[in-house]
Chain A
């Protein structure tokens, strides 16, 4: 195993012992597993029915203990906002609310039209803005569809067929066609 990798692993596992191992690291390596800790701490805390943290929660609290040993404050109170701070306890700057971690978008943020759908909306007199708003806002109310597109959405007199994601683009929905329902 290369020496640098070994040192990195060693630093990650011995973080609870203090910063001694981190100080031995080469300058190019992170002084602690900051990225890994962020990922761990931003996982949701889940509990079992009796309120005890499950395995994921336990792992999180283990991470908290490790974080505390590195002068990082972490509160796990379930009644109050959970915050992680990269500064010493008592400092108010640099905190992150882990109840709202950086999240991947689950629905479309914008809309793309096929040429066909764009022209058809114009011909039928469908307000494109309304259709786009419906797709973005009411994506959770969509139905699965078989046929021209992945999803189906009813909005006023219109039935809208669209794909989401649009290829690899998780932020975009692609409207394939629409029609006025009976």
Chain B
């Protein structure tokens, strides 16, 4: 399974997006750890957002995640 995502140490938020993540339709609901994003058509979880990630996720996992990529539009 392919996983995209990033970790923003300033916001202390880790965002993971799984296969079938469709940014045009994905919706989210709050859970204790942050957000659970799912496909509204199938109900499948396609993303997770962790708030206070440094307290909730292993340090090794956070170290593997890249920082948010700020792309400059042409």
Contact = CB atoms under 8 A, between A and B. Distances in A.
A147 B3 CA distance: 25
Max chain B CB contacts within 10 Å: which of A115, A117, A122, A124? A115
A148 B11 CA distance: 8
Interface residues of B, number: 25
Contacts, number: 61
B13 A177 contact: yes
Contact of A119 (B35, B37, B51, B70): B70
Contacts of B27: 179-182
B11 A119 contact: no
Contacts of A118: 68, 70
Contact of B23 (A117, A124, A177, A181): A124
A180 B28 contact: yes
Q: Is the interface of A mostly helix, strand, loop or mixed?
A: mixed
Contact of B8 (A115, A122, A181): A115
Given A147-B51, A177-B49, A115 B11 contact: yes
Nearest to A148: B51
Interface in B23-52: 23-24, 26-30, 34-35, 37, 40, 49, 51-52
B11 A123 contact: no
A114 interface: yes
A176 B52 CA distance: 12
Nearest to A122: B71
Interface of A: 114-120, 122-125, 147-148, 159, 176-177, 179-182
